[in-house]
Amino acid sequence: MDDLWNSIFGNIGDIERRFDEMFAELSRGRGKTYGYTMYQGPDGIPHVREYGNAVGEFSPRLDSSISEPFTDVVKDGDDVIVTIELPGAKKEDIILEGTDKALSIKVDTEYKKYSKTVALPCEVSQDSAKAEYNNGILEVRLESKGPLSNAKRIAIA
């Protein structure tokens, strides 16, 4: 009976060990993230960009030591709010630069490295920028210079 059990389920220990190793990597911050994001840039041209830190398996262009932070961009009335997750970063290590069409975030320390440029949904006033950093979350609020665009409702068939 043991031989039958081992022939069917004998590899469960190996599978369990591999899962333990993967979760250990994730807890040490060495987990792999990879994907694509599609957006229309401020120039009106559609863009497809890779994000994440997976190297070799998916894309040899990505540097595994630099993570791309998760971001969210929301238009709230006359403001554009950009929220960036930067776990483990210190406020003094964050380099934040902006134009009227994009926002660039960079953290480059011995332990944490993040880098990303975010296209904004409309032109913004750089002078109006207000940034707050709390518990690994950076929120940047910018005033828009005008409406998003001349949007037209499209009927769905």
Residues 70 and 140 in one domain: yes
User: Whole-prediction pTM value?
Assistant: 0.57
Q: Is the Cα torsion angle 74, 76, 82, 83 positive or negative in sign?
A: negative
- Of 87, 86, 82, the residue nearest 102 (C-alpha): 82
Residue-wise pLDDT for 41-51, tens only, equals: 666 777 776 66
- Of 144, 148, 151, the residue nearest 78 (C-alpha): 144
Amino acid letter, 9 = F
Q: For residues 70 and 51, what is the distance between their CA atoms, to the nearest angstrom?
A: 9
Residues 138 and 88 in one domain: yes
Whether the per-residue pLDDT at 60 is higher than 70: the answer is no
Residues 131 and 71 in one domain: yes
On whether residue 12 sits in a domain, the answer given is: yes
Identify which of 29-33, 36-40, 109-113 has the greatest average pLDDT.
109-113
- Domain span at residue 10 reads 1-31
On whether residue 46 sits in a domain, the answer given is: no
Identify which of 5-14, 27-36, 56-65, 78-87 has the greatest average pLDDT.
78-87
CB count in 10 Å sphere of residue 145: 12
Burial of 93 (0-12, 13-18, 19+ CB in 10 A): middle
CATH of the domain at 92: 2.60.40.790
142: Cα separation from own chain's centroid: 20
On whether residue 44 sits in a domain, the answer given is: no
Tally of structural domains, the chain: 2
Q: How distant, in Å, are the alpha carbons of 9, 16, 21, 34, 49 from that of 116? A: 45, 36, 29, 14, 11
Residue-wise pLDDT for 117-138, tens only, equals: 998 888 898 889 999 999 999 9
Residues 27 and 71 in one domain: no
On whether residue 139 sits in a domain, the answer given is: yes
